A and B are shown apart, each in its own frame.
Chain A
Amino acid sequence: MASSLTPSLAPATTATSYTLPPTGLSEPTRIEPANALPSGNQPSFAYPPLYNFPPFYTLQPNTTTRQAQLQAWSGLIQSYCKYHRTWRLSLVDAIDTPLFRNDALNRRLSLADAQTVLDWMANKDAGGGGGRAEWISTKDKSLAWIYWRRPEEWAELIAGWVDDTGQKNTVLTFYELMEGEMTTSQEFHGMDPDLFQKSLNLLVKRGRAQVFGSEDQQGVKFF
């Protein structure tokens, strides 16, 4: 028994060594009441090992390496946005946040390279990032949706919750779903209203939901 316990501790310690020291944890979690995650004691954001690798901040000329690099950036951006509940990422603002700059290494991803990363994420073709981002403004490429879940995945999640809680054929208001007390434990709680609408529209298109009402007082019925 003891022999099986000792080695199992080893990977755990190496995993935690990537995370930042858990000091002052409770503060940021308390500030965000919109945070849908049920855990009151959220661990600090764990950067991937590549985050501390200086060449990560220079786009690699070798196509194979670059593909791995873009994949890693895509993963980092998704998990970072998920952690901070950032639905739309403004590149101009984000470029100076720890997401894109590592002051300890004195390295940063340039705005142009960050745009390349998001372009790649938005690409749904083979060899692309599988539509994990979408430019909101295609012209200046400054604002983009970050899809740690794509709209169709959000739609499934919401429809699934409605089904599980037996609320099919019941009219639910948008507010109830996004901000209501029933959904506080759900990942879509506190969701961006536009993305919420976007996801619901996919269900409406497939005839699985119907949206009622006007701007402020919208409701939805799932079939």
Chain B
Amino acid sequence: MNSKRKGVGLSAFTARSQAVSQFASHGDFLRTSNLNALQTQLSVFQSLLHQFSLTHAKDIRSNPTFRAEFARMCNAIGVDPLASSNASRNWKQEGSFWAQMLGGSVNDFYFELAVRVVEVCKDTRAENGGLIPLAEARERVTKGRAIGGGMEVSDDDIVRAVNSLKPLGSGFTLPVVGGRPMVRSVPKELNVDQSTVLDALQMLGYVTVSMLQDNLSWERPRAETVITDLLADSLVWIDLQDEETTYWSPTFIHEAAR
């Protein structure tokens, strides 16, 4: 249009601008068709997933391995079932992704499991200072307190359940200490020294002040301070019946028995 008004009569310019506008409209067309195709694919996929989950809802609920595989599949295609459940709740009356797909039972499953995990953490807090190995938490949930009160769950389930607590600001975290996945139920910042000692504790089971001095080349007061802090947070137990005072990680209580 502009080039025409200039009226220099150079048809090359007109042709170019026509080409540009044609490209633009064709681009638009491609985008829409692409979008339509994707939307169709997505709806097909969702209905398939829906069908799949309906057929296998029982398995998803009862079989931890199957559940983990299903959740992994959702993750692989970029669907986070729990995250989407929180996002969709606000603008859709129909409920969460899980609820839509599985009639609410899987979603409820994770929330119920989360409650169990919180209970386990609370029950053992005095003993372990609020740091429990993920595997132990799973075992305790699996066993349950009452007869028939246990749930068959995998580590993956526990992780999902704890993550589902995040919107509550519960302070539950899933740190890895000394290479072992943990559930931490007492929100507290650990300084670098304390984390180092906790890592060492997970590897060795116990430490002594001289071990810390020798291996980390710390001064004695530094090692003692860290130990005193960890004792105060009930993250270590003291043993006075060895040659040197030893400090044990309570996360090993349930492993020593094996």
Contacts and interface: CB of A to CB of B under 8 A. Distances in A.
A49 B234 contact: no
A61 interface: yes
Given A11-B150, A14-B139, A52 B234 contact: no
Contact of A64 (B126, B150, B238): B126
Interface in B51-84: 62-66
Given A4-B152, A10-B142, A17-B258, A53 B253 contact: yes
Contacts of B150: 11
B10 interface: no
A75 to B, nearest CB: 12
A7 B257 contact: no
Contacts of A47: 257
A88 B231 CA distance: 35
B48 interface: no
A49 B253 contact: yes
Given A64-B126, A107-B241, A11 B142 contact: yes
Contacts of B66: 3
A64 B150 CA distance: 28
A18 interface: yes
Contact of A65 (B126, B142, B246, B252): B126
B239 interface: yes
A38 B258 CA distance: 30
B246 A68 contact: no
A47 B234 CA distance: 23
Contact of A60 (B142, B238, B246, B253): B238
Given A11-B142, A68-B126, A68-B127, A54 B239 contact: yes
A39 interface: no
Given A10-B142, A57-B241, A3 B234 contact: no
**Interface majority SS (helix, strand, loop, mixed), chain A:** helix
B192 interface: no
A53 B64 contact: no
Contacts of B246: 54-55
Nearest to B258: A17
B237 to A, nearest CB: 4
B241 A67 contact: no
Among A8, A56, A61, A62, max chain B CB count under 10 A is at A62
B256 interface: yes
Contact of A62 (B143, B231, B239, B253): B231
Contacts of A68: 126-127
B242 interface: yes
B245 to A, nearest CB: 9
Interface in A69-85: 69, 71-72
Interface in B148-201: 150, 152
A53 B234 contact: no
A206 B127 CA distance: 40
B92 interface: no
A68 to B, nearest CB: 4
A169 interface: no
A53 B62 contact: no
A54 B152 contact: no
B130 to A, nearest CB: 10
A49 B124 CA distance: 13
A57 B237 CA distance: 10
B237 A60 contact: yes
B241 A54 contact: yes
Interface in A92-117: 106-108
B110 interface: no
Contacts of A71: 126
B232 interface: yes
A53 B248 contact: yes
Interface string B98-122: 0000000000000000000000000
Nearest to B232: A62
14 contacts: A3-B65, A4-B62, A7-B152, A11-B139, A15-B143, A49-B253, A53-B248, A54-B206, A55-B248, A62-B234, A65-B234, A65-B250, A68-B126, A71-B126
